[in-house]
Structures are given as C-alpha cells and as structure tokens.
Structure 1
Amino acid sequence: MSKITIYDDAYEVKMVSAIIGGSPKAWGGIVTNRDEGSFIVSLQKNKPAVINIKNQMEVMTDNCQKTILNPNSNTGIFHVAGVKQIIVTPANPPGQPYPIVEITFIPYPIELTRFRFTCPPPPGVKEYVTGKIDLSQMAMLVFFGKPALPQYIKFIAKDDEQIILESPPGVSEIYYKIWVKKVKEE
C-alpha cells in the first residue's frame, strides 16, 4: 500500500538560504548555516491552498564539535507555519494573460541554531576553545525577533520558473532564494 498525491493546477515554491562566516584562520573555521524548505500552492477547483509544507531545520557546519541546544526549534530564516490569506486575481487577456497569486503567511519567529562547542585552534594557536554561542553576536542580532521568511509572496500562475526573492548579486555572506515552478505532469 502507498499514498499517491495528484496535483492539478499546482505550483511548487522552493526556498534555500546559506549564512557563511568565519575563515580557515579563525576559531571554528568556515561556518555555514543552511536552511531549506518547500510547499505546494494548489489552485485546484477555485479553492487555493498551500499544502505539502516541508520545513527543514537549519543545519550548521564548521570544524567544531558541538551540541545543538535547540535541535527541534532551530528553524532558520525560512519557516511556513500556515497561511493568513490567498488572493488569486483571474487572468484578464490580453494585458494579463495569466492569473496572479498573492499569499500572506502567518508570522513565525526566526530561531537560529544555538549550541555549545569545542573548536580546534586555528593555524598558529596551540589551545582548544570551548564555549556557548552568544545570541548578542552581530550575525544573530540581525535576525533576533524577526519573522521567518516568506511573509508574503506574489507570482504569476504560468509555466515558466520565476524567482520571487533572491539576495543581491555580490553579497556572499548571506545567500537566499525563493522561486516557484509549475508542477508538471509526468
């Protein structure tokens, strides 16, 4: 026995982010916090809905041994808790040949990974360091108390892939992207 989900007039929204810091010469080396998620926007039978929500917990990589203090709640910057409102503006050819979909999400607080750590020394240093991450560090402070993304998205219900939100070119410390693509029949 298996479950099969059939989508008709549906769009998959994917989200990915990476926060990168440190350096090979720093305690902890290069540190990456990665977050991913996705959901389906169903426009079936004039009853729009967000379904099949997949929120991944943030994954942190570095060269330290660590104990994650919040393994079940470290949502990262992306998290979909539910939908407040979905508005579908019908197509109006020729000027607007496709419907426009707008979704407002229920706010959910960002929670980045908190952890205790033991890190090997950077080159030229002989001792190890242990400690606990301090939420007052600048990288954490940027997100403290903010709602997770997405808070609102808008896209055109057409076949082409569309980027909804993306970090500006040239920014390497924080990368994020949200894009949508029509679910194709196979």
Structure 2
Amino acid sequence: MSSGVHIELERVVPTGGEVMPFFWAQGTDFEAFEHAVRHDRLVDDLTAVARVADRVLYKVNWGETTSSLTRILTDSEATILEAHGNDPWMFRLRFNDHAALTDFHNLCQEEDIEFHVERIYTLAEGEPGVYNFDITDGQQEALVTAVSEGYFEVPRQTTLNEVADQLGISPQAASERVRRGADTVLRKVLLSQSAADLS
C-alpha cells in the first residue's frame, strides 16, 4: 500500500459474516492507493463511499483468500475496538475471556503472524489512556521531567542533578521520587491483573 496514506478502520457493529468491511484513508495520492489495493490478491472489490476533506471512506470486499488475520479475529471472537496505521498496524481488541485471548495468540503463531502486546487490561482497570498508577504528585512530576528531558534514553540526555535543579529539590529527593515512581508504574503495567486471575 502507499506509504502516503494512513488507514483507520471504521467502527461498525457486525451483523453478518463480514470482517472489517469499512475503513477511512487519509492522505493525498488516493489514485495510487486505490490501484494498489484493487490489485491486491486479498481484495475482490474496493468502493469509495464518501469523501470528507482529505479523508475517504472505503468499503472493501475481501476475497476468499482473505488474510489469515481476519479469519483469526473471527475464530477467536475478538471485537475490534480500534485499528489504525498502514505499516505497522495498531489494534485494540476485546476478548470474551482469557481462553479466547489464548486462542488468538496460538492461531497467530500457527500462521506466523508477528505482533507485539502493548498492554493487557481488564474492564475493572478501565480503558487504556486512563491510568491510575497510585503515585504521588511529586513522583509524577519527577518522572515526567526525567522522561521529557531524556534521563531514560541511551545515552542519557540529562542527569538526576539536572532533574533536581528543574524541580527545585535535592538530588537525593529527585532520585527517590524517580526510583519509587518508576517502580510503582512498572509494577502496575508489567504485573497488572490479567483475565486469567479472574478464573
């Protein structure tokens, strides 16, 4: 596909057997994009439904040799909550239970589909983007400053002394806030409750 076009799947409630029938494309060279998509072996037909500014809504009819991913999404009964990109793609998926998530993982491995999991969360933990890490205001301020100034980059772009100077606190206090805040955040993200804990 054209690298100058960004794709975002349209959110629809599935009523039939179609998987991902609509998507928005944003860019400039739609002619080249449509030509590439229509000649893709996975696509039977592509229709431009509507155009709004620099975005076009397309309806796609996938061929019988549709990608393994759409079949896997159907077989594991995954609900697509969000999807956008071109290369790479980002999906936010909802599964009925941990077993369905395991099915998705195993089916992707069988088809050699590589993916990276950003985060697994339960409904009780809330939607992504609404994070409650239970860190103090001071720890959050120190972490935000450290991250934005490049303290965690390789090589480091700043020192704890410089972070402390920006915050108007001692280097020891800056070190404690950054380390305690980072420990709490990492534990919340990496060791958070998964669906398996509910069974």
Which bin holds the TM-score, normalised by the shorter protein?
under 0.3
Bigger CA radius of gyration? 2
Structure with more of its chain in helix, by fraction: 2
After TM superposition, the score normalised by the length of structure 2 is 0.22
Structure with more of its chain in strand, by fraction: 1
Which gives a bigger RCO, structure 1 or 2 (Cα 8 Å, sep 6+)? 1
After TM superposition, the score normalised by the length of structure 1 is 0.23
